[in-house]
Structure 1
């Protein structure tokens, strides 16, 4: 019976093509507006490593000065000092851990057709690569011995490797970066996590990918300047060593635990560490020590702002307005078929039969609106992506949102069809037969 009603629904689309096209277009516009904004919100708030959400954590300790501090006020700092970051790195806590900070400098290609250019990268430990599940096209990360020795080794992004060496495998070759010779140990395959949870501070959650990765210890040994934000709440001695010895915060850190049940263990370590540091005269604010999972970190840094959420609500409000118009059009469409309903009722069709038939017809309209809405959504996302490079990364539809388009469209059509369908079921057969 459903198949029969479905075929009737397809035929009914041709009865009044102008009215049908207006209903489908109204529904499609509302769906496109809501889906395009919902897609942006979905991508921006997504977790690129959902299976590690209960295992990966960002630690924060408040090392600010007491000057101007009010107890109970949360610190706005979201990074660590060099001292705390290195202590965490040497703690051996968890399965993996890595301190990191952004670097940038000049690259001097061996090719004569390419001049020197600047590029940004990341200084980190070897654990960074398996922690964030970076895919390798050639080679592998540097070794733990390279971390310990501060060796001049480097991992390139695929984009940078192709720019410098074409399609050839550059592993084992040496390149000049910031005036020093680095040996290439690996080349990453295309890696574009959205959002970029490891680089939200500095280059942004939707910024461009890092072109290279070097050992943290090598960057410190060469006194490499950091490429990112720094917050200094106290005095700092001049020079690079003065920055390392200061309470300036400019480094980021991630722990990866062996399983999801070790958050309490890590929190206990963090509290014990802070207590020991207070005995040394540091962390004078005695503020709570914080741990953030991936999802909590995204919320803490407000990757999805209130403006994005408001845009989504406004889009769904527009969809509701489109539904009101669709209800009016369906009432007009079904009212002209009162005679047909009366004859069917007289021939023995029940009100439930009429209800099912008209509801299936509205579902057909929803499917048509979903297909057109999907095309309009792709167009809207393309226009949004043209506004900025960051929006280009976020303005793409995955399978979840593709399915959501049809779910929202059909659900909206059924919701809009409830009142017109109920009205159609109230037709009195005797009155309709007398009028014929």
Structure 2
């Protein structure tokens, strides 16, 4: 019977075409608005590295001034000083450790048709690429020995590599950056991590920034005293000179530690607490604030990657969907009311109320399917318009299979909910009254 009722539902679309089109359009607009905002929230709040997000941790210690500090206050800084970053890198904590800060370096291409230009990049340690599973197109990252030596080596993004060398494999070639000759050891494939959890601080677009263009060793950037491209926080005045800056309590480096398993978190916390105690003995970390560890999901929450305004937008869009459903209910009542005579005849011929209910509910499901298809097209259009607003929105305004299925599920569910009252009203038709009126 389901197939029969479904075919009746398809045929019913041709009845009162204007009314049917209005129902489908009303439902589609409500679904499109809801799905478009829900898609953005879904992408923004996703786990960027789900199989190990509970094993990657951001360590934070409070090295701020003791003035105006109250016992129990949480750390008010999101980065590490150079001293703390180096100490953590050189420790045996976890399985892998890295320190990262942003750089911007002038590149002097060999090609005469390309002038010198600035490129954005990162200065991490060697563990960075394996820790965050960066996808290599050519070559590989540098070695721990290169870290120790501050070697002049570089890993390029695919986009920068193609700009400088076309489709050729540039590994082994040398290029001039910041006035120094660097050997290319690897090229990353396109790496659009959403959210870009390992590089939230210091980017104009935060967790939804574009991928970096190149990577050089942390120690190399320090050795060449390259300028920082990111956020720096200093609690007190410092003496002139780069070394004085390194020796200061200014925070400008992001630290990450990877453990072998999630259960090693307590051990890592113990290490961080012990480290803070040792530093206090040296006259540092005077606030004695709680030392913090954030795994990936906690870090995204702490950084408010998904803001309250994003959640509010979703609630407002679903409120709009409810209004569309109210209108759809009214249209279905009008559509089914003109079929009272048909229902009366069917009831007189022996059809039960249950069968009438099933028939009309399946018809509303057909309306939901058509509304879902149109809503999907409208949602794609809405996301395309949203993506045109900024580069950051381009990364989040796209639909995956989960949201494709959600679109149809939401449309069908909405149509069924909207059709419950009209269908119930249709089942209350009294056959004798309808036959008498005929």
Q: CA deviation at 1:75?
A: 3.0
Equivalence map 1:319-398=2 (5 Å): 319-398=321-400
Does 2:264 correspond to 1:268? no
Q: CA deviation at 1:235?
A: 3.3
Partner of 2:14: 14
Partner of 1:232: 234
Of 295, 298, 314, the residue aligned with 1:296 is 298
> Structure 1 stretch 142-151 or stretch 324-333: which is displaced more?
142-151
Measured against aligned partners, the alpha-carbon deviations of 1:106-146 in whole angstroms (never above 9, x if no partner) come to: 00001111110001100001111111111111111111211
SS in structure 1 opposite 2:137?
strand
Q: Could you state the TM-score of these two structures normalised by the residue count of structure 2?
A: 0.98
> Structure 1 stretch 228-237 or stretch 4-13: which is displaced more?
228-237
SS in structure 2 opposite 1:75?
coil
Q: CA deviation at 1:71?
A: 2.6
Does 2:205 correspond to 1:199? no
Equivalence map 1:30-429=2 (5 Å): 30-203=30-203, 204-429=206-431
SS in structure 1 opposite 2:373?
helix
CA distance in 1, matches of 2:383, 2:76: 34
Moved over 3 A (4+): none
Q: CA deviation at 1:423?
A: 0.8
CA distance in 2, matches of 1:355, 1:269: 66
SS in structure 2 opposite 1:374?
helix
Total equivalences in the alignment: 436
CA distance in 2, matches of 1:385, 1:121: 24
CA distance in 1, matches of 2:97, 2:381: 42
Unpaired runs of 5+ residues, structure 1, are none
Q: CA deviation at 1:354?
A: 1.0
CA distance in 2, matches of 1:12, 1:76: 63
Q: Could you state the TM-score of these two structures normalised by the residue count of structure 1?
A: 0.98
Q: CA deviation at 1:374?
A: 0.4
CA distance in 2, matches of 1:424, 1:188: 63
SS in structure 1 opposite 2:252?
strand
SS in structure 2 opposite 1:254?
strand
Measured against aligned partners, the alpha-carbon deviations of 1:262-304 in whole angstroms (never above 9, x if no partner) come to: 1111111111111111111111111111111111111111111
Confirm or deny: 8 A CA contact 2:56 2:256 kept in the other structure: yes
CA distance in 1, matches of 2:92, 2:109: 38
SS in structure 2 opposite 1:255?
strand
Q: CA deviation at 1:10?
A: 0.3
Q: CA deviation at 1:62?
A: 0.9
Q: CA deviation at 1:410?
A: 0.7
Confirm or deny: 8 A CA contact 1:55 1:256 kept in the other structure: yes
Measured against aligned partners, the alpha-carbon deviations of 1:45-90 in whole angstroms (never above 9, x if no partner) come to: 1121011121111111111001222333323211011111111111
CA distance in 1, matches of 2:401, 2:126: 33
Unpaired runs of 5+ residues, structure 2, are none
